[in-house]
Amino acid sequence: MTPLAEILSRRIALSGPITVADYMAECLLHPEHGYYSTRDPFGTGGDFTTAPEISQMFGEMLGLCLAQAWLDQGAPVPFVLAEPGPGRGTLMADMLRATRGVPGFHAAMQLHLVEASPTLRARQRRTLEGYEVQWHDTLTDLPSLPLFLVANEFLDALPIRQFERRGSGWAERMVGTDAGQLVFGLAPLAPVASLAHRLADTREGDIVETCAPAQAVVETVAAHVAAHGGAAIFIDYGGWHSLGDTLQALRDHAPDHPLAHPGQADLTAHVDFEPLAAAAKDCAVSALTPQGVLLERLGITARAQALASRLSGEALQSHVAAHRRLTHPEEMGNLFKALALAAKGSPLPPGFAHEP
Ligand code: SAH
């Protein structure tokens, strides 16, 4: 049993089963035993790899994309460049390097990161040495300035709740204990107002998921952009809306049972973009765009060729593999989706189109 499993078992024995959301939040961010609180999980030595860790091209494309959005909105001075959940800070570092040549961009920018993990804050500080950075606990703390924001694999780490369809009601999936082990169970049937529309596309026994914190994030960003201008890009794995259990645990680059190693495995869930698009209704919202399509539109192939011309041997092979991994429909290209928003009346960031 992990130390966190013991803590959670004692809590459940005292006060009853907890929601999947409570479980996920404790696993990821418990101050002493949480997965992100205690480690840097990225890269080949860690538990999983993300797009910015695969290739510098990912951050370069997104940096230039946001810089163009800034130019399209009249290059406001000053403005906030923000990222929630920056991991190692790699995406931001690549964005900053790529935008150095955009006249006025760096001089006008204030860098703001939202990060819950002290360990990863320290890592980000090292990665972004030489830049003046401000860290925050929540997005509501950002200064009232035009906001250009990117979030990659941030929303999938926010706690989800799961509900199983029973007749015309829903039973919430809970984490309890049985014979000293953490187990999934179901709470008594209850109506769930926010799932009324899902009665039409689900059947008895189906599981659907909700993520109120992700909706709150997008709502906060959309309200900020509507009030002060700017644009935001959210990239994550998922689809329009979920059907089925998408909670997954990764440990040492291999799937793990979500209840097996609380605090020692990464826990994520597919991101549902339909409720997020609805939460951004104060802004113009793009069509949901596959990551591969977005990166191609932003010119990743030309950039990949330019970089390739300076490489040979193994370095060239791994560069070609990284390009494929980010864009190919059978790799990350289709599984990962991007959604952009901008103030109504402003153009969407390049690479994005309005809903047809
Ligand atoms: N964007 C990075 C890292 C993704 S992992 C990349 O693409 O590599 C998720 C990141 O979100 C981590 O930095 C984690 O510590 C942070 N995080 C998770 N939950 C958070 C929360 N509730 N508030 C702020 N940061 C959070």
- Atom 10 of ligand 1, residue of closest alpha carbon: 85
- Atom 20 of ligand 1, residue of closest alpha carbon: 116
Residue 29, exposed/middle/buried by CB under 10 A (0-12, 13-18, 19+)? middle
Q: What is the maximum span of the chain, computed from C-alpha positions, in angstroms?
A: 64
Residue among 94, 115, 135 whose CB has most ligand 1 atoms within 8 A, to mutate: 115
For the chain, percent of residues with pLDDT exceeding 90: 91
Rounded to the nearest angstrom, the distance between the alpha carbon of 180 and the centre of ligand 1 is 31
For the chain, percent of residues with pLDDT exceeding 70: 99
Neighbours of 170 (CB within 10 A): 28
| 42, pLDDT greater than 90 | no
CA distance 158 to 213: 6
| 252, pLDDT greater than 90 | no
For residues 139 and 221, is the Cβ–Cβ distance under 8 A?
A: yes
In 3D space, the residue among 58, 63, 60, 80 whose CA is nearest the CA of residue 230 turns out to be: 80
Per-residue confidence at 38, pLDDT binned at 50, 70, 90?
Answer: confident
Convert the pLDDT of each residue in 282-310 to its tens digit.
999 999 999 999 999 999 999 999 999 99
pTM across the whole model: 0.96
Per-residue confidence at 243, pLDDT binned at 50, 70, 90?
Answer: confident
In 3D space, the residue among 84, 91, 224, 216 whose CA is nearest the CA of residue 147 turns out to be: 224
**Residue length of the chain:** 356
For residues 73 and 346, is the Cβ–Cβ distance under 8 A?
A: yes
Closest ligand 1 atom to Cα of 85:
11
Residue among 36, 150, 211 whose CB has most ligand 1 atoms within 8 A, to mutate: 36
CA distance 296 to 332: 13
Closest ligand 1 atom to Cα of 90:
8
- Atom 23 of ligand 1, residue of closest alpha carbon: 116
- Atom 17 of ligand 1, residue of closest alpha carbon: 85
Q: What is the pLDDT of residue 150?
A: 98
Q: What is the pLDDT of residue 48?
A: 82
Beta bridge partners of 157: none
| 191, pLDDT greater than 90 | no
Rounded to the nearest angstrom, the distance between the alpha carbon of 243 and the centre of ligand 1 is 24
Rounded to the nearest angstrom, the distance between the alpha carbon of 122 and the centre of ligand 1 is 13
Q: What is the pLDDT of residue 117?
A: 94
CA distance 350 to 125: 29
Residues 6+ apart with CB under 8 A from 133: 111, 112, 113, 124, 125
Residue the block writes with tokens 């609180």: 37
Q: In this predicted model, which residue has the larger pLDDT, 193 or 143?
A: 143
Residue the block writes with tokens 């999934």: 184
Residue 28, exposed/middle/buried by CB under 10 A (0-12, 13-18, 19+)? buried
For residues 60 and 90, is the Cβ–Cβ distance under 8 A?
A: no
Rounded to the nearest angstrom, the distance between the alpha carbon of 323 and the centre of ligand 1 is 24
Going along the chain from its start, the domains and CATH numbers come out as 35-158+211-298+329-342 (3.40.50.150)
Question: How many C-alpha atoms does 187 have within 13 Å on its Cβ side?
Answer: 18
Q: Which residues line ligand 1 (CB under 6 A)?
A: 28-29, 36, 42, 50, 52-53, 84-87, 91, 114-117, 120, 152-154, 157
What distances in angstroms separate CA 84 from CA 103, 124, 136, one per listed residue?
Answer: 25, 12, 9
